[in-house]
Structure formats: C-alpha cells, structure tokens
Chain A
Amino acid sequence: DIQLTQSPSFLSASVGDRVTITCRASQAISSYLAWFQQESGKAPRLLIYAASTLQSGVPSRFSGSGFGTEFTLTIDSLQPEDFATYYCQQVHSYPRTFGQGTKLEIK
C-alpha cells in the first residue's frame, strides 16, 4: 500500500499568513493526488485534484503543486474560514490511502 505522510501534523497561523502543507508518498504516484478540507463536524470538501487543479468554486488563494513523491498545498492570505483540517489522498493505486491530516489552527 502507498503511505502518505503529511507535515506538519499541526500548524498554527494567523489570518493573512501564507502557509504550506507537504504530503510525501512512499512511492511515486505521478500527479494522482487530491487535497481535501474538513471543518469540524462536517464532510470533507475536495479542494484540488490531479495535484494542482483547483476544484470549481474553491478560492484561488488555494494552490497545489508537486509530482512523483512530494506535493504541497499552499494557502495564500489565510481567511478565518480556512482554519480546518487538511488531508491529501492518492488515487494512483488501491487502496486509495489518505494522509494522516494537518490541523490548521488560529495563532
């Protein structure tokens, strides 16, 4: 199975900050990676797929990059609604594994 490791697991930041979350895969997965946002008590929401394609309706302050084994999610100018938990997921092979999550908290 492909393991995904996110770093950091916890991130403290302020409104207006720029933050970056990293997702590393245990083997190469091309660009077959998605990023999800999950607010407390809610369903996950797809933000980015194919490593860098912004899902419709997602603000442009979110961006993704990477290929192979290392990927990043960047949020420019954090807004109050961005404080949530973020997960990466690979769709290269089965099982479709998720990273352990990164909780973004207000400083």
Chain B
Amino acid sequence: QVQLVESGGGVVQPGRSLRLSCTTSGFTFSNHGMHWVRQAPGKGLEWLALIWYDGSKKFYADSVKGRFTISRDNSRNTLFLQMSSLTADDTAVFFCARDNSIRGIGIGYLYNWGQGTPVTVSA
C-alpha cells in the first residue's frame, strides 16, 4: 500500500536551516507530483509547495517562496523540503502528500498523506 514517511523535523534556532525528507513506497514515485503542507499548532492546513513528477516544475506559497525549496530524488523515491531563514512562524507539523495526477496529466488532488514531522523554531 502507499506509504509516505516524513523525517528530519526537530527543534531549530531562528535564522537556521533544516531539510525535511519524505520517503515513499507502494507506488511509482517518478510518475507523481508531490506536495508539502504544514499545520501550525492549533491552526488549519497551509499548502506550501508542489513539485512535478520529473522535477521540471515547482510551485510555492507566497509565505515560503525564496526561503523554502522543494526537490526530489526519483532514484531514491524521496521528496525533500529545504527550509532556510526559519522563524517562529514556521513552527508546524509538516506533511508530504502524493498528487494523484500521473506524469502531469489530469488535475492533481492530494490523495495520500504522511503522518507528518514536527518542526519547532525556538531559541
């Protein structure tokens, strides 16, 4: 079955960087776009970024554009989120999710989600 497992979260000081990973299995990773979504404590869901199946296109929320970079390694079935210049407002649980479109065809919905990895930005 489809599995997505996020890792790399933890406590980080303001201004520092952190890289999250999402290891996947149970589907052909290289066929699907992948998303990152976060949820601050007690708040709603915030979509952050999407990377196409082949990495050729990337889209970001304005709140993270220029600070966060989404990337993927199709040989390792793994998605990444490189986060820099972190502030307390970035404290959240970060989820990765699989887009159901195949090789960019069709409208992509967030079909499967990982359980999330928590990131706390604090001095």
Please give the residue numbers on chain A whose beta carbons come within 8 Å of chain B beta carbons, in ascending order: 1, 32, 34, 36, 38, 42-46, 49-50, 55, 87, 89, 91, 94-101
Contact = CB atoms under 8 A, between A and B. Distances in A.
- The A contact surface, by secondary structure, is loop
Contacts of A38: 45
Interchain residue pairs A-B with the least CB separation, the first 5? A43-B113, A49-B109, A101-B44, A96-B47, A94-B59
Contacts, number: 56
- The B contact surface, by secondary structure, is strand
B45 A36 contact: yes
Nearest to A98: B45
B80 interface: no
Interface of B: 35, 37, 44-47, 50, 59-62, 95, 100, 107-116
B101 to A, nearest CB: 10
Contact of B47 (A43, A46, A49, A98): A98
Given A1-B62, A91-B107, A96-B59, 19 more contacts: A32-B107, A43-B114, A43-B115, A44-B95, A44-B110, A46-B110, A46-B111, A50-B107, A50-B109, A89-B110, A91-B108, A91-B109, A94-B50, A95-B60, A95-B61, A98-B45, A98-B47, A99-B44, A101-B44
